[in-house]
Structure 1
C-alpha cells in the first residue's frame, strides 16, 4: 500500500499540499542545499526520513544521519538505495547513537562543519506521560538533550538549524505538548547566537507509532482495531511532513515557526472517519463493537471479509479533542506562502534565564522521589497556558 497516495486521495489532494511553495522557492532551496553538508538527528523516523528524501532532491554533498534506532537506520539505507534514480551523496553515513553521547560530539566535530543541522529526535506521544519514569525520559530527550545540542551548535554554528515541534505545543494539555512548547522557547532564546527555526504541523498519517500505522499493524496480524470516536486531528502525508520541515529549515528566517494553512472547519478529521475507508480499500467491511473483549472474540469475522473494530469515547490523560497551530496572542502571517503560515516570535526568556530554569529542572530530576505533579507545576510556571488534562488513565490501558 502506497501510504502517501492513500493519504492524498483520502484528503482529496491531487498533489502535495506544499507543491506550489516548493516550486516557487526551488531556486532558494537549491542555493542553500546543493553541494552543502547536512546532518539529520532522529533521521530514521517517519518525519526525519521524509525530510531527508525532500532534501536529497537538491543534491547535498554530504549527509550524516544519527538515530538511536539501529534497525530504523538500516531500513532507511535500504529504502534509499532501492529507489531507481534516487540521489545519494558519496559522503553518506549513518550512526546508531544518542545525540547527547560523547561519541556524537566527536563525530559532529570530525564530520563538520555542517551547513544544515536538523533535529527530529524527540518523544512525540501523549502516552509518554504514563508515569514519572517515562516523563523523566521525555523531559530529558525533549529539553535536556536539546539544550546540550544547542550549546554544541553555538561552538560550531551551522547556517541553518531546525528542530521539529508539534501542533500540541499550542495551548498544551499534556506534558509532551508542554515540553515541546518549552523546547520552542528554548530554541528561540538561542536566536541571538545562531539562526533557529521550527515547525508545528498536523498528525503525520501512518507515521511510526501512530494510531493509523497501528491499524495497518493490527490488520497485518489479524487483530481487531481500536479507535476513539471523538478525537479530531489535522493530517498530512509523510512526504508533506518532510517538505514542511525542509522549507521551515531553509526558507524560515530566524525565530520563525512554520505551520500548514489548514481550515479548522473543513480539515479537522476524526480518526473514526478514516478506518472505514481504509478497511474498504483493503477489502473489508467494518463491524463496530462496544468493548475490546467483544472485538477480540469476533476476530474470526475476518474470514467473511468483515473486520471487528472497538470504538470508544476518549478518557485518557492529556488527550486533546482537536489540535490547533497557533493561539490568538501569537503573531502569525498567512500571506507569505501558498500553503504555509508563519509565526514570528520573540523569545519569552533569554538564554541566561534558561540557565536558572534548567537548574530548577536538574534539581527536580535528581530527586529520587520526584512526582508527576512536580513536573506539571514546573512546566506551568514557565508555560502559563498549560492546562493539564489529568484523568488517571494512560493510553497503555487501551487496546
Structure 2
C-alpha cells in the first residue's frame, strides 16, 4: 500500500494500524498450530478480500496453497504481487482460473484433498436486484453454488473446516442481497454437523473493488462529482483488516460461529456523506455540496483546473432495498464479547429449520431450471428460509442515480 493511501485511510478511518493487531498477535500460535501441515484452497482469491486474506495467510507455514478465481487476469496479478512482494509461499502453490460453481470445480475437488476450504466469491451489490435476471445470478452465486460446493465437499475426509464470508447486510435484511447472504449462512449451518463451518460479517471495506470509496477515487480521476446518500450510516474497515478477521474466524473459531468487528456505533459509524467530505479534504479539496445532480454536474463542467473545490451531490436514500444503518447480529442471536479485544462472535446464528433451507434452495433451483421467473417469485422463495426479510420496494434503483 502506498504512503498516500495509508494517509488517506488514516484520515478517513481515524487509525494508522489495524484494529485487529492485538487480537491477531495473541492468536498467532493457535493459527499456526491449526495450519501445520495443512492444504488450503481459497476460492475467490483474486477479489479484494480474498487476496487480502491470502497475503495475511502467507505469514504462516503450511503445506499447500491453491488459489481459485473466475477472473484470469486478476488471479495473475495476485500471483505477481505475491512473488514480487517476497511473500512466503509453500512449495505446493497452484492457481486455477475456473468458476467455483462449475463442473470443472467439481472435478478439481474430486481429485484434490484439502484441510481448509475458504470461499470469498460472492455478488455483493444491492443493485443486483434491479432486474430478475441479475437477481437470479446473485442467488446462483451466493446460494446455489455454495450448496453445490458443500455437496462436492461432503466426501472429503481430510476437511477440517469450511469458511464462507458473509455480510452485515445478512442481519435483519432489508434487501435481497443481504437475504441471499443470510440464506448462504443457513445453507452452511444446515450441513455444519458434517462440515464444520465458520464465517465473518463485516463492515464496508474501504476502497475494495466496487465500493463507494473506490468510486470516489474514480470520480476524482475522471473529474466528476462525488455522489452519496446523506442518511445511510456504515462502519468501515481496510482490506487488510477484512482479511485478518477472516483469518481469525477460520482458524480460531468453533463450529457455527460467526465473527464480527466490535465497534462503537456513536464513534465508528459514519454516513457516506461524512466519508465523502473526509475523502475530499484528505485529497486536498474543499467539498461544495449540491442537492441536485445537474447542479453538481454543471459546477464540474465550469470548474477551472486549479480550483480546489469539488462538487458533491448528497441526498437522502430513495432506492429499493437500502438499509439506513449497520448491525452485525440479530437481537435474538447470543454473542461472545470477551474472547477477543476487538472481535465479537455470534455463537448461535439465527436459523429456522433444515426444511426451510432445503425448500428455499429447491424452489430457487427449479425456477432457474424453468427458464422463467419474476422478482416477486424469488422474493417469496428466499423468505421461505429468511422470513425476517423486510424488503422495501421503491420506484428507483441505484442505476438511476449518479
* Alignment TM class, shorter chain as reference: over 0.9
Question: Where does 1:1-399 land on structure 2 (aligned, <5 Å)?
Answer: 1-2=2-3, 3=5, 6-83=8-85, 85-110=86-111, 112-157=112-157, 158-299=159-300, 300-301=302-303, 303=305, 304-345=307-348, 348=351, 354-399=357-402
The runs of at least 4 consecutive aligned structure 1 residues that moved more than 6 Å come to: none
Separation in structure 2 between the aligned mates of residue 36 and residue 302 of structure 1, nearest angstrom? 58
Equivalent position SS for 1:361: helix
Shift of 1:17: 1.1
Deviations 1:90-123 (A, max 9, x none): 322222210121222222333x211211001111
Q: What are structure 1's unaligned runs of at least 5 residues?
A: none
Q: What is the DSSP-based 3-state SS (H/G/I as helix, E as strand, rest coil) of the residue aligned with 2:266?
A: coil
Cα 1:285–1:377, aligned 2, differ >3 Å: closer, same or farther? Answer: same
Taking the aligned partners of 1:274 and 1:350, their CA distance within structure 2 comes to 40
Post-superposition CA distance 1:159-188 (Å, at most 9, x none): 121100000011000000011111111111
Residue pair 1:33, 1:55 contacting (<8 A) in 2 also: no
- TM-score, normalized by length of structure 2? 0.94
Contact 1:7–1:236 under 8 Å retained in 2: no
Give the distance between the partners of 2:278 and 2:38, measured in 1 at CA.
Answer: 42
* CA separation of 1:55 and 1:323: change in aligned 2, threshold 3 A: same
What CA distance in whole angstroms lies between the structure 2 residues aligned with 1:78 and 1:294? 44
Q: CA deviation at 1:189?
A: 1.2
Q: Per the alignment, do residues 346 and 241 of structure 1 end up closer, same or farther by CA in structure 2, a change over 3 Å counting? A: closer
Instruction: Indicate the larger mover: 239-248 or 7-16.
Output: 7-16
- Say if 1:164 and 1:200, in contact at 8 Å, map to a contact too: yes
Q: Measure how far apart 1:9 and its partner are.
A: 4.5
In 2, Cα distance between equivalents of 1:351 and 1:344: 18
Residue by residue, what CA displacement relative to the aligned partner does 1:15-52 show, whole Å, maximum 9, x if unpaired?
A: 21111111111101111224421111011111111111
SS at match of 1:311: strand
**Stretches of structure 2 lacking an aligned partner (at least 5 in a row):** none
Describe the superposition over 1:48-82 as per-residue Cα deviations: whole angstroms up to 9, x where unpaired: 11111111111333211111122211221222223
User: Following the alignment from structure 1 to structure 2, what is the Cα–Cα distance between the partners of residues 74 and 330?
Assistant: 41
Aligned-residue Cα RMSD (Å) equals 1.8
Secondary structure of 2:184's counterpart equals helix
Q: Retained in 1: the 8 A contact 2:356–2:384?
A: no
TM-score normalised by the chain length of structure 1:
0.94
How many correspondences in the alignment?
Answer: 397
Deviations 1:298-320 (A, max 9, x none): 22426112222221211110000
Q: CA deviation at 1:225?
A: 1.3
CA distance in 1, matches of 2:224, 2:42: 35
Contact in 1 for aligned 2:8/2:283 (Cα 8 Å): no
**SS class of match (2:56):** helix
- Paired with 1:96 and 1:264, the residues of 2 have a C-alpha distance of 40
Q: Deviations over 1:194-230 (max 9, x none)?
A: 1100111111111110000000111122222111111
Deviation, 1:349, is: 5.3
- For 2:232 and 2:313, locate their aligned partners in 1 and report how far apart those are by CA, in whole Å: 14
SS at match of 1:191: coil
Retained in 2: the 8 A contact 1:120–1:164? Answer: yes
Q: Post-superposition shift, 1:350? A: 5.7
What is the distance in 1 between the residues matched to 2:231 and 2:365? 38
